[in-house]
Homo-oligomer: A and B are copies of this chain.
Amino acid sequence: MKAERIIEAVLFAASRPLSIEEIAEAVGMEKKVVKKAIEKLKNFYEESAIEISEANGKYVMEVKAEYAEYAKKFAPVELKKSLIKTLSLIAYHQPIKQSDLKKLLGSNVYEHVRELKKKGFINTRKEGRTKLITTTQYFYDYFGIDKKDKEAIKNLMEKSGKN
């Protein structure tokens, strides 16, 4: 079994960036060997729609940018639909009281707020007996929105409602 094939299987299955150390330890190879194998793999995938790219010393197998449009349709989304809905309501109404959000969503609100906070999309701070919820800088970065365009997004959401 060739080293690069073993590492190929690992990178494929992991679906997240892995460091040389992580890979070396998992497959029981020297870091040097892992590094060389990755170079070989990169060559193998040159003509493919997939590439092995590097960021911050970690390696990940992903679809090349020019094929991303096709791939997008089939890749599952990382947030559940119900969470996206809750996040969209927060983004539109922010700052919104948790108690007001509860009126819109029912008791799911506690779980959703906890999860969205854990994922870094929202911040909460105490306000009287409830919490006041706003979106974070990470939220704006994630959706590629300039925070200054906050109102533009609201307008966009509003317009979409009238169609």
Residues of A within 8 A of B (CB): 1, 5-6, 8-10, 12-15, 18, 26-27, 44, 48-50, 63-64, 66-68, 70-76
Q: Say whether A6 contacts B44, CB under 8 Å.
A: no
A26, A27, A50, A76 — which one has the most chain B CB atoms within 10 A of its CB? A50
Contact B76 A15 (CB under 8 A): yes
Q: Main SS of chain A's interface residues?
A: helix
* Chain B nearest Cβ from A25, distance in angstroms: 10
Residues of chain B with a CB closer than 8 A to A5's CB: 48-49, 67
> How distant is the Cα of A10 from the Cα of B10 in the complex, in angstroms?
20
A63 x B26 contact (CB < 8 A): no
